Amino acid sequence: MTSAAETSLPVPSYELRARRSPIQRVWRIARKKPIGAVACVVCILLVLVAVFAGQLAPHPVDAQRFPRLQAPSATYPMGTDNLFRDMFSRIIVSSRISLGVGFGAVFVGTVLGTVLGMLGGYLGGWVDLLIGRLLDVMLGFPPLVFLIFFLSIFNSKGGYSMQSYLLVSLAIGIIIAPTTARIVRGSVLSIRNLQYIEAAQCVGNSANRIMWRHVLPNVVAPIIVIASIQIGNAILAEAALSFLGLGIANATHPSWGAMLQDTRAVWERAWWTAFMPGLAISLAVLSFNLFGDALRDILDPRLRQGS
């Protein structure tokens, strides 16, 4: 017969978590991290705007038939620029290049940084020393100088093309890879001597198999976090390159940085020509950074124990 003491025992927290539906878990996380939840929604909206930019833009981006330097109004929500173009349409379409290069660069940087961090952290010895010195050199080189140098050599023609798109993404990916590599290396060092890794070594698994089948799944969380944060940095780098004329934007394929470059001569008398593209850049960078910060708190087991 069950006693009253046994029936009044609390249900373990892990059982409560198991009983929650995915929607309940998402809602609970959103209540605990409201800023991160809002940032996540903004990030999703930005991606949707980039994907459906052609359908959302009310006017063609290269149409030059609107009043010149018209201030923001109900007809022109973000005003018009000095070349008689609707800025609202251009900011929507510009998200394609700005976010596309951002995601592409982060993919390159994450893959490169993960490989270097895994090799250095697990193999150690001269491999770790060599990779460590390489990362020191990359981190010590001014990022903007490297980008200008790299693109001046390999993408001297510029313009909108798949080659330029890939080269700009590669260049930005290279400068963000060292940060990812350092984080991955630190995570690998913290688990390299754990029992399950030693057990995998004892049964004869190769170093290559252990790294990619046993170590990598346990460092995915910090990789996801740093990748989400680096998207904002990549968007900012692309904007800087486009402003300097080294990006891939043109009249029919604009980017937020290129919009700033096109209108810099009229900033003093048409504030919206600088404010609107700058607002788009700031919103994207801030949203991805806040989302990455919230994601770090959610995926960190030390911070998750009380949830």
Give the residue extent of every domain in the chain.
89-304
Q: Buried b vs exposed e over 274-297: b needs ≥16 C-beta within 10 Å?
A: bbbbeebbeebbebbbbbbbbbbb
Q: What is the pLDDT at residue 200?
A: 84
The yes-or-no verdict on residue 6 having pLDDT over 50 is no
Q: What is the pLDDT at residue 5?
A: 46
30 exposure class (CB count in 10 Å sphere: 0-12, 13-18, 19+): middle
Task: List the structure tokens of 28.
Answer: 């609970």
Q: What is the pLDDT at residue 19?
A: 60
The pLDDT confidence band at residue 1, using thresholds 50, 70 and 90, is very low
Per residue in 96-143, pLDDT (tens digit) is 999 999 999 999 999 999 999 999 999 888 999 999 999 999 988 899
91-105, 150-164, 217-231: least confident range: 150-164
CATH dotted code for 89-304:
1.10.3720.10
If you average pLDDT over residues 187-193, what whole number do you get? Answer: 88
Percent of residues, the chain, with pLDDT higher than 70: 89
If you average pLDDT over residues 2-9, what whole number do you get? Answer: 48
Which secondary-structure segment (H or E) carries 161? Answer: none
The yes-or-no verdict on residue 183 having pLDDT over 70 is yes
> Alpha-carbon distance 98 to 124, whole Å?
38
If you average pLDDT over residues 213-217, what whole number do you get? Answer: 88
Per residue in 229-278, pLDDT (tens digit) is 999 999 999 999 999 888 887 777 889 999 999 889 899 999 999 999 99
Q: What is the pLDDT at residue 24?
A: 74
